[in-house]
Structure 1
Amino acid sequence: MAVPRGRRALLRAAFAACALPGACAAPRETDGRLPPRPPAATLHLVARGWHTELALPGHALGGSPLGEALLPRFPEARWLLFGFGLRRYFTHPDPGPGDLLAALAPGPAAIRVSGFAPAPPEAFAAEDVVRLPVAAEGRARLLAFLWAELAKDARGAPLELPERHDPRGIFFAAATPYALDYNCNAWTARALHIAGLPVDPDGVVFAAQAMRRARAAALLAAG
């Protein structure tokens, strides 16, 4: 049976395409595992003495309510650091023994957001920084967590506190109160856990604990 002229042209085109290198090739055999997806963002856990903070690149906040509220406040910053603490102690420019003792009791908390141009490994000592890759889903959960942790004013904007002694940072009221078992280090460990990293926040009180668990998570991610 004769093949219509139009169909003969289609068959010739299909044959020619399959003759090209790699065209119409059979799929390669694999071990069934999908290639790892590149991280949506790279976070850093930063130790600042007894206190830990979470560093995010500014571009990771893009398109989120958190980014819309904070990025205009730090126009020259490429990184934002988030830290949590007892408001009375954390916002005091020179806390005394009474403020330190107050940290043993629950109370209102504050979140400090600081802007930095250099990346954390350049701004802080190498031993005080842990680099952690985060997937897109984890980044979205983390940004939602940080946004929820900021108390809002009547307009729905983060509630800024009047303390201005930190040249790099702005203090905001926290929506969650401070407690000895929910201090700055427990807060950062919880944030990393919410971001999908294998960091167990239970029992974290000291900066060394948070850093140790973050380093273990970084090794798992690298392996």
Structure 2
Amino acid sequence: MQLFLVAALGLIAALWTWTRPGDQTLVAAAPDQAAVTVHILNNGFHTDLAVPRGPLEMQGGPLAEASRSLGQGDWILIGWGDATFFVDQTPMETRVLDGVRAFLWPGNASVVMLDPEAGDPSRRFPPDRRRSLRLTEQGLSAMLDRVEGSLILVDGSPVVSTARPGDGARFFRSRETFWIGYLCNSWTARVLNAGGLAVRPLRAVTAGEIVATLDRAAKLDSAPRED
């Protein structure tokens, strides 16, 4: 029994510290290296990506098609979450039961949010709630491919699930499922991993871990690289 407990604790520790490696060549390190800057925005619970609209739409494909269907804005906020809880903007205290359902019930339908915004959206967030990431053209393409891979396509086109009244955000049906084992920040971590960053998948349930992921990447980028 004691050996079993030791083995179980060892397995838990290994999974908790397990890091999925990234591809550092996709992240632009040198200041003079051609790059596209994206932002990661943290509201304390949830993280969104902010991507400049021009490079996103130049890539083409279903994600670019979805972006072109939106209203005006130079940036596109991209997020993912439960198809009901994520979209609802009523006060949190009025939807506690729905939050419990989204967390504990497996296999919940999900959506990808695209929300156009004029001006750099990172300016709305204090420094401790935002991070920036400079990606090569290949890195941005790989990251957006991962976002696009989340979309349900019908005849090659994304499917609108909800257009939220009162703002420009649209929510597109996603093939992934939301539950406590795979939350909004878990999804953001996978997208960042596709863009070249090393991530700790099991820890990436909090917005704080997403920020820590960017901070670790910044330290790695500042270290000398071997030729």
Q: TM-score, normalised by structure 1?
A: 0.76
Shift of 1:55: 1.2
Change (3 A) 1:79 1:211: same
- Corresponding residue to 1:48 among 30, 43, 47: 43
Instruction: Give the 4+ runs in structure 1 shifted more than 4 A.
Output: none
Aligned to 1:54, the other structure's residue is in SS state strand
Three-state SS of the structure 2 residue aligned to 1:90 is coil
What SS is found at the alignment partner of 2:149? Answer: helix
Q: Which residue of 2 aligns with 1:5?
A: none
Residue 118 to residue 203, structure 1, CA distance change in 2 (3 Å): same
- The one-character-per-residue Cα deviations of 1:179-210 (angstroms, maximum 9, x if unpaired) are 21211101111111110123333321111111
| TM superposition shift of 1:67 | 5.2
Tell me which amino acid in the other structure corresponds to 2:201: P
Structure 1, gaps ≥5 residues long: 1-34
* DSSP 3-state at the match of 1:172: strand
2:191 is aligned with 1:191? yes
Distance between the aligned counterparts of 1:69 and 1:125, measured in 2? Answer: 32
Q: Secondary structure at the match of 1:196?
A: coil
Alpha-carbon offset, residue 127 of structure 1: 1.9
Match of 1:127 in 2: 128
Q: How many Å separate the matches in 2 of 1:164 and 1:84?
A: 15
Give the alignment partner of residue 60 of structure 1, picking from 55, 80, 84: 55
- Change in CA separation of 1:197 and 1:69 when aligned onto 2, cut-off 3 Å: same
Counterpart in the other structure of 1:10: none
Q: CA separation of 1:59/1:205 partners in 2, compared to 1, >3 Å: closer, same or farther?
A: same
Equivalent position SS for 1:199: coil
**Pair 1:71–1:171, CA change in 2 (3 A):** closer
**Which AA in structure 1 matches 2:122?**
P
CA gap 1:165/1:48 in 2 versus in 1, 3 angstroms: farther
Give the aligned residue type for 1:156.
Answer: G
Find the counterpart in structure 2 of residue 99 from structure 1: 98
Q: CA deviation at 1:220?
A: 2.6
Residues 93, 165 of structure 1: 8 Å contact kept: no
Instruction: Specify the alignment match of 1:74 in structure 2.
Output: 70
What's the offset of the Cα at 1:74? 3.3
Matched-pair identity in %? 25
Match of 1:147 in 2: 148
SS state of the match for residue 133, structure 2? strand
Alpha carbons of structure 1 residues 101 and 49: separation in structure 2 relative to 1, 3 Å: same
CA positional deviation for 1:215: 2.0
Which runs of no fewer than 5 residues in structure 2 stay unpaired?
A: 1-28
Question: 1:211–1:100: structure 2 CA closer, same or farther, 3 Å change rule?
Answer: same
Which has the bigger relative contact order, CA under 8 A and spacing at least 6? Answer: 2
State the secondary structure of the residue aligned to 2:192: helix
Give the aligned partner of residue 112 of structure 1. Answer: 113
Per-residue CA deviations over 1:54-104 (Å, capped at 9, x if unaligned) read: 111112211321453133223521111111111121122326121111122
Q: Is the 8 A contact 1:55 1:79 kept in 2?
A: yes
TM-score by structure 2 length?
0.75
Cα distance change of structure 1 residues 73 and 222 upon mapping to structure 2, 3 Å threshold: farther
**What amino acid is aligned across from residue 152 of structure 1 in structure 2?**
L
Q: CA RMSD in A?
A: 2.1
Cα contact 2:197–2:213 (8 A) shared by 1: no
Bigger fraction of residues in strand: 2
1-structure distance, mates of 2:78, 2:166: 13
1:84 aligned onto 2:80: yes
Identify if the C-alpha distance between structure 1 residues 75 and 162 changes in structure 2 by more than 3 Å, giving closer, same or farther. closer
